């Protein structure tokens, strides 16, 4: 009997997840939280500050797995609430077409995206938030950057696994190229 069995329906135990990661791609959602002005122009990009397992500090996006029998919309909302807090007030788009699909490989260099744990396919969204964001779970803070600051080499270098590339794709999608 496992000493740490997850009881939430749709979740795998740590051993089951390890086995699944070794055999098939896992579906994820990622969100770039943004603030917009009254005309819909993006004024700020929110990036999470996290400490990795090795004690390294990095910036990242909202992300997480889609559970079995969970709609993509529900997974996106669940991860936005988990990472940004219950009063972030995200405005998930009516059409769930991602701005890109990122494919993470355990082997570096196959694509711009790398995750040493697994082969993962991630649907990436830009999501306006209007409420008060208070990071939860393993995030230390949420820092808002102007689009130009978010595209800077200093910020890009703090985003491992290709997430800096994903952020630049999001910025290009909303018309900001630097």
pLDDT of residue 9: 57
Distance CA 148, CA 139 (A): 23
Q: Which two tokens stand for residue 139?
A: 């995030």
Whether residue 133 contacts residue 85, with contact meaning beta carbons closer than 8 Å, is answered with yes
pLDDT of residue 10: 61
pLDDT of residue 2: 39
Q: Which two tokens stand for residue 122?
A: 């991630």
pLDDT of residue 8: 58
Q: Kindly list the averaged pLDDT for each block of 10 residues, start to end, along the chain of length 178.
A: 47 83 91 96 96 86 94 97 95 94 96 95 98 87 96 94 96 90
Provide the CB-side half-sphere exposure for 151 (13 A, CA): 14
Exposure of 15 by Cβ count < 10 A (0-12 exposed, 13-18 middle, 19+ buried)? exposed
Return the closest-CA partner of residue 31 out of 104, 114, 98, 130.
Answer: 98
* Structural domains in the chain plus CATH codes: 24-173 (3.90.79.10)
Q: Which two tokens stand for residue 99?
A: 């701005």
pLDDT of residue 132: 95
């Amino acid at each position: 009997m496992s000493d740490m069995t997850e009881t939430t329906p749709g979740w795998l135990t740590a051993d089951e997840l390890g086995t699944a990661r070794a055999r098939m791609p896992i579906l994820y959602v990622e969100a770039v939280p943004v603030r917009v002005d009254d005309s819909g122009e993006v004024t700020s990009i929110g990036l999470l500050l996290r400490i990795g397992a090795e004690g390294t500090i990095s910036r990242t996006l909202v992300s997480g797995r889609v559970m079995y029998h969970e709609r993509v919309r529900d997974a996106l909302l669940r991860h936005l609430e988990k990472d940004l807090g219950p009063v972030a007030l995200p405005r998930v788009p009516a059409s769930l077409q991602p701005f890109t699909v990122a494919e993470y490989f355990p082997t570096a260099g196959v694509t711009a995206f790398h995750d040493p744990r697994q082969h993962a396919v991630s649907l990436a969204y830009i999501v306006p938030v209007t409420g008060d964001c208070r990071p939860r779970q393993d995030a230390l803070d949420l820092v808002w950057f102007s689009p130009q600051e978010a595209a800077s080499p200093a910020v890009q270098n703090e985003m491992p696994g290709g997430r800096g590339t994903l952020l630049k794709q999001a910025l290009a999608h909303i018309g900001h190229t630097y």
